[in-house]
């Protein structure tokens, strides 16, 4: 089976103590409708997220936060992912509310995709499919 045919598996989580769930559930609905397998774990901390990602063998990890912890805990997540050896094999996405000046920094710490309010189904689904397809061919 080639990568393009395999059902894409996504782990979604609220980052740390962040409280708003509307965004992540909306994205979960979008990805499911687009034929992906979605595992939503609710609130989770970096270590738990990485552990779940390994256990579930997911292609994508998407985290959501509107609470300002995107750099601190987001950074920790990618550090642990790198140490656990899944950073390169997994697509890491972040969605939520963050100031524009933090976006380059989010990229630097290793997020592959950054989705601010207003991001559409087409953008998110398209991004995941394209990135997975690119990985499959390289």
Among residues 7 and 22, whose Cβ is nearest to another protein?
Answer: 22
Residue 71: which of 8, 6, 16, 2 has the closest Cα? 16
Query: Given candidates 3, 35, 117, 126, which one binds another protein under the rule CB under 8 A?
Result: 117
Query: Given candidates 9, 39, 68, 79, which one binds another protein under the rule CB under 8 A?
Result: 68
Residue 77: which of 66, 56, 62, 95 has the closest Cα? 62
CA distances from 112 to 17, 92, 97, 108 (A): 23, 5, 17, 9
* Near another protein in 28-47, by CB under 8 A: 28-30, 32, 40, 42-43, 45
Q: Going by C-beta distance under 8 Å and a sequence separation of 6 or more, which residues neighbour residue 107?
A: 114
Query: Given candidates 116, 126, 130, 134, which one binds another protein under the rule CB under 8 A?
Result: 116
Residue 84 as a binder of another protein (CB under 8 A): the answer is no
Tell me the CB-side half-sphere exposure of residue 129, using CA atoms within 13 A: 14
Query: Given candidates 31, 69, 90, 93, which one binds another protein under the rule CB under 8 A?
Result: 69
Sign of CA dihedral 113, 115, 121, 122: negative
Q: Least CB distance from residue 50 to another protein, whole Å?
A: 16
Binding site for another protein (CB under 8 A): 14, 16-22, 24-26, 28-30, 32, 40, 42-43, 45, 66-69, 72-73, 76, 97-101, 116-118, 120-122
């Amino acid at each position: 089976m080639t990568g393009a045919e395999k059902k894409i598996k996504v782990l979604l989580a609220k980052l740390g103590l962040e409280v708003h769930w509307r965004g992540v559930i909306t994205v979960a609905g979008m990805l499911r409708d687009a034929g992906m397998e979605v595992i939503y774990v609710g609130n989770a901390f970096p270590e738990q997220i990485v552990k779940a990602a390994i256990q579930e063998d997911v292609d994508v990890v998407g985290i959501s936060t509107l609470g300002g912890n995107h750099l601190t805990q987001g950074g920790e997540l990618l550090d642990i992912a790198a140490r656990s050896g899944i950073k390169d094999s997994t697509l890491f996405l972040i969605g939520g509310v963050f100031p524009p000046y933090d976006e380059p920094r989010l990229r630097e710490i290793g997020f592959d995709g950054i989705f601010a309010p207003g991001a559409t189904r087409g953008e998110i689904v398209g991004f995941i499919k394209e990135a997975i397809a690119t990985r499959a061919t390289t």
